[in-house]
A and B are shown apart, each in its own frame.
Chain A
Amino acid sequence: MKEIVIISGKGGTGKTSFSSSFAYLEGKNAVVCDCDVDAANMHLLLGANFKQKNDFLSGEVAVIEPTTCTNCGDCFDVCRFDAISKNDDFHIVDKISCEGCNYCYQICPHQAISMQIQKAGDIFISDIKNNSKMVHAKLGFAAENSGKLVAKVKTEAKILALKEDRNFVITDGSPGIGCPVISSLSGASLVVLVTEVSVSGFHDLKRVYELVKSFNYSCVCIINKYDLNHNILKEMEDFLSNEKIEVIAKIPYDETFTKAMSVAKPIVEFDKDSNISQAITKSWDIIKKRIEK
C-alpha cells in the first residue's frame, strides 16, 4: 500500500480539484483521506455519505469548581495563557484561551481544579463515488489540535486500506507549513506539490518544498494557471529543474475548475474528454509509475 500526499502551501491553487480527480480515477483501488480538517471540502466533490461517525477526543481544559475555590489566585498567578480570571467569589477559566497544560491543576492548594478531556471534532468514514471509501473529519469550532486530528485521520485511512487490501491512500493535505502539514506528510510514498503561477504561489511553493526536502520525501509538481504570467512561470520552472522536481502537468487558467465544483464533481467526472481531464489522467499515470519504481 502506497500513500500519495497532495499539498500546496498556498490555498486555492486547485489541490482538492486534483486530488479528488485522482481519487475518482483510481476508484476502489484507493482509500481517500482529507487532511484539511480545518476546512474540509473533498467530501463535496466525492459524494461522501458520512456513514460512520466517531468522536475525536483530544486535549484538556481546566475547570474550576466554584464551591471549592477560595479565590486565592494561585492559579491566576501561574497561568501563562491569560486563561484564568477572577470572578466575585471564585476564579473562572476561559476555555478558548486554556491550553490544557494543567499547571493550575498541579498547584491549586484546595484541589478545586479538574482537567476535562475535550471533544475536538468528528471523524467520518464514508462511501464515495466509484466504490471507494474516504476518511475525513471536522474540527470542532474554535478547537485545537488539528495536527493530532490529521494524524488520526491518516491512521484510520491506512488501517482501512490495509484491511480492505487497497493499493493506494490518496491524501489531500492541509495548507501552510506548520503542524497539520507536517502531520499530513508523515509516511508519504510520494508528495505531489500543487502550485499556481503567481508571486505568492511561487513563494509558498519554495517554502513548503523546503519542508518536504527536510523530511526527505520524493516529490513531483503540478503547475496550475501556468498562462497567467510568463516570467514567473519561467522562474518557477528553473527552480523546479534545479531541484530536480519533475513537472507532471501544466494546466492553464480555466473556469472549468469552478464549474465542476459548482455541480459537485471532480473535473475528470465533469468533463472527461476535456484537455484538462486528459492532463490530469496522464499525471495520475505518471504518479503511479513513479511509486512503483
Chain B
Amino acid sequence: MKITIASGKGGTGKTTLSTNLSAYLTSFGKNVILADLDVEEPNSSLFLNTKLKEKHIAHKMIPKWIEEDCTLCGKCAEVCNFNAIIDLPDKIKVYPQLCHSCYACSELCPTSSLPMEKTPMGEISLFQCDGFDLVEGRLNLGEEMAVSLISQTIEFIDKNYDGFIKLLDAPPGTSCPVIEASRFSDFVVLVTESTPFGLNDLKLAVETMKVLNQNYGVVINRHGIGDDGVEKYCKDENIPIITKIKNDKEIAKLYSGGNLLYEKIPHFKDSLDEIITFFGEQI
C-alpha cells in the first residue's frame, strides 16, 4: 500500500508523522520504505539514524545547441511554449531553467541541431535506517523543476520495493509538487493543526484531493490548542479524522533535537496505533 503524508500548511508535522510511523511499523516486523519527497527541503534523514547506501544523480533532459548544421531557421523558438529558446540573428540560446523537457524543439528541428542532453537537477539518495530504508529526493539549489525529481524518486521505490508499505512524505502546499506526490497513492493522510491557518490550508488540500479523486483522511496535530474549526469542518464534510495528536511542548523539544517520539511519548504512540487501526488489514 502506498500512503502519502501531505498537508496544505507547512510545519504541521508531516515529517514527524512519517518518520515515526515508519519506525513504529518496522518494529512490528512490517516491510516499510519511506520516501522523502519534500525535495526542496528534505528533512526526514535528520530524524533517523541513517547510513548512506547509494547516491544517484537525478537528471533532466535539456536541448543542447550544435552550431555546425543549424540554419537558424527559428523553428525551435517558434515551437517552444515556455520561452526557453530564443533565436538570435547569429545563434540559438537555451534557458535550461525554463525548459520542461518536452522534446518539441529537439525533435522538430529540421537539422537535428538540438539533441537532448542529460543535465543534473538533484540527487536521489538511499539510506539504511534502523530496519527500513529511506529514499530521499534532493533538488539542487536554484533548480525549479521539483515535479520531475519527485516522480523519479517515486519511480525508484516502485521499482525496488515491491510489496512494501510505502510512506511518502510530501512537500507542503497544494500545487504541482504535492499533486505529483499524491496522485498515484492509495491514500493521502492530510496532517493539519487545529488553528485557522490549519483549517484554511486543509480546505485547499481537500479541494485538491477532490480534483485528483483521491481517498483521504485527516490527522489533527497539536490538538487542544487553537479552536475546534477543523473538527467541525471534517464532521460537516464527512472526512474521517484518523487521530488527534495532543499539543505537547515535550514533543516540540524532542523534535527540535531530531529525536523520534513514539518510544518516549505514550500519547503519541497511542495516536500511531489509531492510525494503524484505521488502515487495518491494508497495512
The stretch of A23-31, A85-93, A206-214 that contacts the partner chain: A206-214
**Which size bracket describes the interface of A in this complex?**
35 or more
Are the CB atoms of B40 and A203 closer together than 8 Å?
no
**Residue contact A78 to B107, C-beta cutoff 8 Å:** yes
Does B171 sit at the interface, judged by CB under 8 A? Answer: yes
Cα-based distance from A41 to B101 in the complex (angstroms): 34
Beta-carbon contact of B174 and A176 below 8 Å: no
Contact A38 B175 (CB under 8 A): yes
In the complex, chain B residues whose CB is within 8 Å of the CB of A231: 257
Apart from A38-B175, A200-B15, A258-B225, what are 5 other A-B pairs with CB-CB below 8 Å?
A: A60-B81, A80-B101, A211-B142, A214-B141, A232-B257
Residue contacts A-B, CB under 8 angstroms, 5 given? A13-B11, A99-B102, A142-B175, A175-B173, A203-B43
Contact residues in B for A41 (Cβ distance below 8 Å): 9, 196-197, 200-201
Our pick among A139, A143, A200, A264 for the contact of B196 (Cβ within 8 Å) is A264
Give residues of chain B (52-100) contacting chain A, Cβ–Cβ below 8 Å: 79, 81-82, 100
User: A204 within 8 Å of B by Cβ?
Assistant: yes
Q: How far is the CA of A9 from the CA of B11 in the complex (A)?
A: 11
Which chain A residues lie closer than 8 Å to B179 at the CB level?
96, 142
A186 in the interface (beta carbon within 8 A): no
Expressed in whole angstroms, the Cα–Cα distance for A81 and B196 within the complex equals: 37
Contact B141 A207 (CB under 8 A): yes
Residues of chain A within 8 A of B103, CB atoms compared: 78, 80, 103
Q: A138 CB to closest chain B CB, in angstroms?
A: 8
Identity of the chain A residue whose Cβ is nearest the Cβ of B45 in the assembled complex? A203
Cβ–Cβ < 8 Å partners of A258 in chain B: 195, 222, 225-226
Q: Within the assembled complex, what's the spacing in Å between the Cα atoms of A9 and B172?
A: 11
B30 on the interface (CB 8 Å rule)?
no
For B171, the closest partner residue in chain A by CB is: A176
Q: Which 10 A-B pairs have the closest CB atoms?
A: A11-B10, A12-B11, A101-B102, A38-B173, A176-B40, A199-B258, A103-B104, A228-B256, A198-B256, A11-B11
Cross-interface CB contact of B40 among A96, A101, A142, A177, cutoff 8 Å: A177
What's the minimum C-beta distance from A17 to chain B, rounded to whole angstroms? 9
Minimum Cβ distance to chain B for residue A150 (Å): 11
- A240 is an interface residue with CB less than 8 A from chain B: no
Answer yes or no: A197 CB below 8 A from chain B CBs. yes
On chain A, the residues within 8 Å of B144 by CB distance are 147, 178-179, 182
Find out whether the CB atom of B46 lies under 8 angstroms from the CB atom of A203.
Answer: yes
B9 in complex: contacting residue of A39, A60, A141, CB < 8 Å = A39
- In the bound complex, residues from chain B placing their C-beta under 8 Å from that of A10 are 10-11, 41, 43
- Verify A261–B196 contact, CB threshold 8 A: yes
Q: Is A39 a contact of B101 with CB atoms below 8 Å?
A: no
Say yes or no: is B249 at the interface (Cβ < 8 Å to chain A). Answer: yes
Q: Hey, which chain B residues are within 8 Å of A138, CB to CB?
A: 204
Per a CB cutoff under 8 Å, which of B9, B142, B222 touches A182? Answer: B142
Flag A242-262 by CB within 8 Å of B: 1 or 0 each: 000000000001010011011
Residue of A nearest to B207 (CB): A141
Q: Are B41 and A80 in contact (CB under 8 A)?
A: no
Identify B256's interface contact among A16, A78, A197, CB under 8 A. Answer: A197
B1-53, CB < 8 A from A = 8-12, 15, 40-41, 43, 46-47
Decide yes or no whether B183 CB sits under 8 A from chain A.
yes
Complex: A178 Cα to B149 Cα, angstroms: 12
**Quick one: closest A residue to B138, CB to CB?**
A207
Question: Is the beta-carbon distance between B141 and A211 smaller than 8 angstroms?
Answer: yes
Task: Judge whether A107 is part of the interface by a CB distance below 8 angstroms.
Answer: yes
Once the chains bind, are A229 and B253 in contact (CB under 8 Å)?
Answer: yes
Query: Which residue in B8, B43, B104, B257 is a CB contact (below 8 Å) of A102?
Result: B104
Contact across chains for B252 and A225 when beta carbons are under 8 A apart? yes
Say whether A146 faces chain B, with CB atoms less than 8 Å apart.
yes
Task: Encode contact with A along B194-231: 1 for CB under 8 Å, 0 otherwise.
Answer: 01110011001101101110000000001001110000
Is the CB–CB distance between B174 and A141 below 8 Å? yes
> For the complex, what is the distance from the CA of A177 to the CA of B41, rounded to whole Å?
7
Nearest CB of chain A from residue B171's CB, rounded to whole Å: 7
A144 on the B face (CB < 8 A):
yes
Q: Which residue of A lies closest to B196 (CB)?
A: A44
- Cβ–Cβ contact B41 & A96, under 8 A: no
Task: Tell me the minimal C-beta distance from B32 to chain A in angstroms.
Answer: 21
